[in-house]
Amino acid sequence: MPERIGFDPSKERPEGILEQPEAVVPSESSEEETNNQESRRAFLKKMVGAGAYLAVGSKVDRLAGAIEPEVAPSNVAENEVKKLSEYPTGSLEGRKFPANSLFAYFTGISGEVPKVAKINFYDQLDTLFDKKESFAKRRRKTNTVFRQAATQLKKEYTSKDPQRTDLRAYLQTVEAAIQTVEANMDWEKLFTRLGLDKEEAALLRAISNSLDSKHLTAYALTELMPSADGELNRDVFSFLLKNAGSRYVYSIPAIYDDMTSFGPYQFTSYALYETSKEKRGASVVADCVKKEIIPSSVVKLRGSEHHAAAFCFSIYNLAVLLRQCSPKEKQVLKNTWRSHTTDLVEFIATAHHLPGGAIKSARRWLNNGAKLDFEVSCPKNLRQYARKTKANLRALKNV
């Protein structure tokens, strides 16, 4: 029975990047511890028609079917490692990144953003991992798994193609990962594993089927970026994809926690974990997919697996919500969810950060007939996540 759900939603656990260094993050106790299917397919067709698959390289990604560049010649990577390069900043020009902000850490730009910035992203990734290590030391924490992960991720970034891309192509990769999970899901096994009745199962499948790449990316921006300005978050993310590459984004550590957490969704072992005795979060859902889509540990997450994990964890948190809802709350959700997809994405993002609090907020929202925005039902510490997610989703609307 414990494996069926995998965590106690009543326990508040921060999940993902924390914006204030003094925030309390729990320590680990073990190994490192609106859109329907048709519109999504139309989106895929449109993206392919626009040439979204024309990325550099030729190796087909084993998970999503998107194109992943081949490993770059080592001499090219070594040359880039040793030098600063110039990058036009586009829409970021004139913005101000405080010296100790995440934007400054991510981009290597401190102060007013110039028209052209000189950056060494290889050094910058090193700096990010150093800052995470410093935070752990201040908390007197030792994480050998994280150190091994940092070494491996930095090695991969300096020896392989950084996979520079644009935001539209990135969204295509996210969409393909969602499609792969859905196409290979054993839904009956999942419903049984999660203990859902027929009505709950039908509702979960309908809602999860409506989730798309922009929903997951909005949720990622909420986790990764510090601003409440959705357009700024989007533009910094786009700048990193274009110049540092998606491999850089997939490697960014959560510098304000002492766990092994990195990538666009800042996963930790609270949300993705599998051993012979226990499965948590995304791993519970992934176990019901007919092919291996995510690894058993956060430390092994690479590329499109981050998106597959995020989609699985979204399904998981929706299922936990459904199991805890009263009959009245479930009926409200059944009647109104199609006109409240933004609210549901806000729930997914807040549940990634603090599952127990997000579920209480969602039930409060539904108990009031979903008449107000989801954020209104959130306490202050979650309201910022909900608002950020809404702003991020709005900024992605016309991409």
The pTM (predicted TM-score) of the whole model is 0.82
pLDDT higher than threshold 50 for residue 15: no
Strand 59-60 relative to strand 67-68, pairing: antiparallel
pLDDT higher than threshold 50 for residue 364: yes
In eight-state DSSP terms, residue 152 is H
Number of neighbours of residue 382 by Cβ within 10 angstroms: 23
Least confident of 63-72, 90-99, 183-192: 63-72
Each residue of 110-133: pLDDT tens digit? Answer: 999 999 999 999 999 999 999 998
Query: Mean pLDDT across the stretch 203-228?
Result: 97
Query: Mean pLDDT across the stretch 196-209?
Result: 97
Q: How far is CA 56 from the centre of its chain?
A: 24
Least confident of 13-27, 340-354, 366-380: 13-27
* d(C-alpha 205, C-alpha 217), whole Å: 20
Query: Mean pLDDT across the stretch 21-35?
Result: 36
SS (H, E, C) 153-183: HHHHHHHCCCCCCCHHHHHHHHHHHHHHHHH
pLDDT higher than threshold 90 for residue 107: yes
Helix (H) / strand (E) containing 123: helix 121-138
What is the predicted pLDDT for the residue at 239?
98
In terms of Cβ atoms closer than 10 Å to its own Cβ (0-12, 13-18, 19+), residue 267 is buried
Each residue of 77-89: pLDDT tens digit? Answer: 555 566 899 999 9
- Give residue 367's identity as a one-letter amino acid code: N
Each residue of 307-351: pLDDT tens digit? Answer: 999 999 999 999 999 999 999 999 999 999 999 999 999 999 999
What is the predicted pLDDT for the residue at 57?
31
Number of neighbours of residue 323 by Cβ within 10 angstroms: 18
pLDDT band at 302 (very low <50, low <70, confident <90, very high): very high
pLDDT higher than threshold 80 for residue 54: no
DSSP 237-271: HHHHHHHT-HHHHTT-B-TTSSSS-BTTTTB-TTT
What is the predicted pLDDT for the residue at 399?
93
pLDDT band at 173 (very low <50, low <70, confident <90, very high): very high
Each residue of 255-283: pLDDT tens digit? Answer: 988 888 999 999 999 999 999 999 999 99
Least confident of 97-101, 109-113, 137-141: 137-141
Instruction: Write down the mean pLDDT value for the chain.
Output: 84
pLDDT band at 33 (very low <50, low <70, confident <90, very high): very low
pLDDT higher than threshold 80 for residue 305: yes
What is the predicted pLDDT for the residue at 145?
86
In eight-state DSSP terms, residue 140 is T
Which residues fall within 8 angstroms of residue 104, CB to CB, at 6 or more apart?
A: 97, 98, 110
- Give residue 33's identity as a one-letter amino acid code: E
Least confident of 102-106, 141-145, 167-171: 141-145
pLDDT band at 52 (very low <50, low <70, confident <90, very high): very low
What is the predicted pLDDT for the residue at 139?
73
- The answer to whether residues 94 and 113 touch, using CB atoms and an 8 Å cutoff, is yes
Percent of the chain scored above 90 by pLDDT?
74
